Amino acid sequence: MSWPEPVEATGRLTELAHARLAAYVRTGDTVLDATAGNGHDTAFLARHAGPSGHVYAMDIQKAALESARKQSAPGTRAAGITWIAGDHARLIEHLPRALVGNLRAAVFNLGYLPGGDHSVTTRAPSTCAALESALAYLAAGGVLCVTCYRGHPGGEEEYSAVLEWMKRRRHRFARAWRHIPQNRRLPPVLLIAEKQA
């Protein structure tokens, strides 16, 4: 049997990802958005972590961080956000060491910035390096959420690399899901994995 077993997804993958994350992220949690992009995931995480929580939001493009900042205007009911301009492959240079083993969620929404420069995409080697670091930062019972897009150059290769990485790290996860919409050519894939306690 292939692991994680593919499950048909209906509706938008981003909504499904948020529904899954909502089951994990609680008020006061510290979480990571490793690809802030236009800030939709950052804003979602900030709402769920609440005023006593914190979000570390990272992107390699300054244009993305500017867009994400607008989407995630600070509010009294949302978590504080630390914006990080940089490559998530170098996560450990940017996140405090004290957070190792303490993140409740790490979110990777891969690919390029919608409405931005489509030639700047996440890539298999740096994504896998970042996932490895994110796993170290995750708390026991925390969740890793990765959305892979396969339609752009390098996307299919990146998805295969992420899936292989998850399989190699299988012993580190208590459970995992792989959601794939049907009836689409090269559909995006949502991978969710809960870190072993």
Ligand X SMILES: C[S@@+](CC[C@H](N)C(=O)[O-])C[C@H]1O[C@@H](n2cnc3c(N)ncnc32)[C@H](O)[C@@H]1O
Q: Which is nearer to ligand X, 14 or 196 (CB)?
A: 14
Residue with token string 């992420």: 162
Q: Which is nearer to ligand X, 80 or 115 (CB)?
A: 115
CA distance 58 to 173: 24
Shortest Å, Cβ 134 to ligand X: 12
149 C-beta neighbours (distance < 10 Å), count:
20
Q: Which is nearer to ligand X, 83 or 112 (CB)?
A: 112
Q: Which is nearer to ligand X, 117 or 164 (CB)?
A: 117
CA distance 106 to 180: 20
Closest chain position to ligand X (CB): 37
Shortest Å, Cβ 21 to ligand X: 12
Shortest Å, Cβ 197 to ligand X: 27
The two tokens of residue 102 are: 């303490």
Residues that bind ligand X (CB under 6 A): 35-41, 58-61, 64, 87-89, 109, 111-113, 120-122, 126
Shortest Å, Cβ 176 to ligand X: 20
The two tokens of residue 190 are: 């949502």
Residue 156 φ/ψ, nearest 5 degrees: -65, -40
Strands 54-59 and 30-33: parallel
